[in-house]
Amino acid sequence: MGPSHPPFRFTGSRRLLRGVRRWVTAAVGALALTGGLAAAAPQATAAGLTQVTAFGSNPGNLSMYAYAPDTLPDGAPLVVALHGCTQSANDYYAHSGWPKFADRYGFALVFPQTSSANNANSCFNWFEPGDSKRGQGEALSIKQMVDKAVAQYGSDSRRVYITGLSAGGGMTANMLAAYPDVFAAGSVNSGLPASCATGIAAAYTCMYSPPDKSPAQWGDLVRAAAPSGTASWPRVAIWQGTADTTVKPANATELRDQWTDVWGIGQTPSRTETLAGGTTLSVYDDASGRPAVEVYSLSGMAHGLAVDPGSGDEQCGTAGTYYLDTICSSHHTARFWGLDGEGDGDGDGDGGQDPGALPAPTGLAVTATTGTTVALRWNAVDGASSYAVHRGGRKVGTTTSTSYTDTGLATGTTYGYTVAAVNAAGTAGAVSATVTATTTGFTPTCHTASNYAHTTAGRAHQSGGYTYANGSQQAMGLWNTLITHTLMQTAPGYYVLADSGCPA
């Protein structure tokens, strides 16, 4: 499994091995000709990314690469990031956007790397029990990397997180199940439920037609993988494109069922929000009202990691093959985990601390919107000296009144808001219910890329080998990487050809 590649780990007789190799060579060649195969990624050599050796017995035959800001304090968090098939630690470091937030919020990064010696397409062997179970193979190698990084950087062992794309996403789910005592939270990007497959044939079934197990059946697989008596579980973010044909979107539903069952909560979301990039966020709170599972569904996105190149606070990453220009998943994942120091995903900005004695403000309502502003009001709380206003779980302002106007927003975009009362000691109380507001208007945008890139980014679609702009249905020629067009988005989901000049 992984970006468009079979999850083979070759075993058996030499004759079978030679035959499989011939088949894979032909298949990979065909994929390359249609633009469906990423070039083999180089070894990690980027400035700032360092190889770490002697991190343990390394039974999974992996390589360890790490990045840490120069001013990293003791007791900082640690994030483990797993690449997809045909990729490398360097590839994920350069495209995913995680280094930006490591610098901003102060945490170390570990990038495990597999190779063709383990898997013909350099996929993590998420489907092999000998590599994905606690204390075995690649899973144990990754755990040993965590131990090495915690010792080397003085990281807080209570704040270790893991994320991964595709095959790395499948391995992430398995690591969360096998090591719930190690990881505080995780993020599965275009990946599979934990213990979905125990061999090659089952891997294909999981990718293309995942088993429709009950939440309890999926949850039992996690409980069986974890140490006996485990009572505390990681929080899990799930990212999935609706147009993914490599790992079908049904996997996100099964992942949700699996982890909500582990947490003992239902499969009906506590709330939903509309984010940028055609993203719908569904939040599933635990019994205390704190988000335990978040599902990010990206309309029209194909197989890959969601990035949003740019210098904005909520932007990150570099677009490329299987790095799709939609929304910065690393930003929202870091927010969900509480790495931003403003919150732990529950919107109260307390970084995981218990809320103060002040009750949640009531009557939160949207009073006005423009193309760039949202005005809010709420009822006063006795004992409050100020109020903290949060947008999408991140604090955006403080006011002593019971009204607030959020500014500098994007046109035609939906935002979610909560408010918490703050006492004289600076302690925030319980958070209010969420209200949503949509700014008016729409700002046209221009996108120049190959027909293949336009399609994978959700701006166009292909039929019979030809490409058509979404919305306008204008013909763009063959679906490949050799034909380039400029598309202008004139309305949500509506694109027109603008090769002669894009006024936006």
The residue ranges of every structural domain in the chain are: 14-337, 365-438, 445-497
Provide the pLDDT for residue 342.
Answer: 58
Number of Cβ atoms within 10 Å of the Cβ of 310: 12
Paired residues of 111 in beta bridges: 65
Per-residue pLDDT band for 40 (boundaries 50, 70, 90) equals: very low
Average pLDDT for residues 218-224, to the nearest whole number?
96
Architecture of domain 14-337: 3-Layer(aba) Sandwich (3.40)
Say yes or no to pLDDT of 472 above 80.
yes
- 190, 241 contact by CB (below 8 A): yes
CA distance 122 to 109: 20
* Proportion of the chain above pLDDT 70, given as a percent: 87
Least confident of 25-39, 67-81, 188-202, 470-484: 25-39
395-402, long-range: CB within 8 Å, 24+ apart, which pairs? 395/342, 395/343, 395/349, 398/422, 402/361, 402/377, 402/378
State the chain's mean pLDDT as an integer: 86
Least confident of 10-24, 127-141, 478-492: 10-24
- 164, 195 contact by CB (below 8 A): no
Which position among 132, 166, 195, 297 bears the catalytic label?
Answer: 166
Provide the pLDDT for residue 220.
Answer: 96
Average pLDDT for residues 198-224, to the nearest whole number?
94
DSSP assignment of 352-408 equals TPPP-SSPPP---EEEEE-SS-EEEE----TT-SEEEEEETTEEEEEESSSEEEE-S
Identical fold between 14-337 and 365-438: no
Average pLDDT for residues 90-113, to the nearest whole number?
96
Average pLDDT for residues 456-476, to the nearest whole number?
91
Contacts of 463 (CB under 8 A, 6+ apart): none
Per CATH, which fold does 365-438 belong to? Immunoglobulin-like (2.60.40)
CA torsion 71→72→74→76, rounded to 10°?
150
Least Cα distance to 83 among 51, 55, 128, 43 occurs for 43
DSSP assignment of 291-342 equals EEEEEEEETT--SSEEEB-SSSTT-B---BTTEEES--HHHHHHHHHTTTSS
- Pick from 5-19, 21-35, 314-328 the range whose average pLDDT is largest: 314-328
Amino acid sitting at position 253: T
Provide the pLDDT for residue 445.
Answer: 87
Give the distance, in angstroms, between the CA of residue 178 and the centroid of all CA atoms in the same chain. Answer: 20
Provide the pLDDT for residue 25.
Answer: 32
CA distance 1 to 300: 21
Structure tokens given for 328: 């910065």
DSSP assigned state of 443? -
SS3 417: strand
CA angle 327/331/36 to nearest 5° reads 45
The structure's pTM equals: 0.66
- Pick from 296-310, 330-344, 428-442, 444-458 the range whose average pLDDT is largest: 296-310
Average pLDDT for residues 194-209, to the nearest whole number?
94
In the residue annotation, 299 being an active-site residue is answered as: no
DSSP assigned state of 414? E
Say yes or no to pLDDT of 198 above 80.
yes
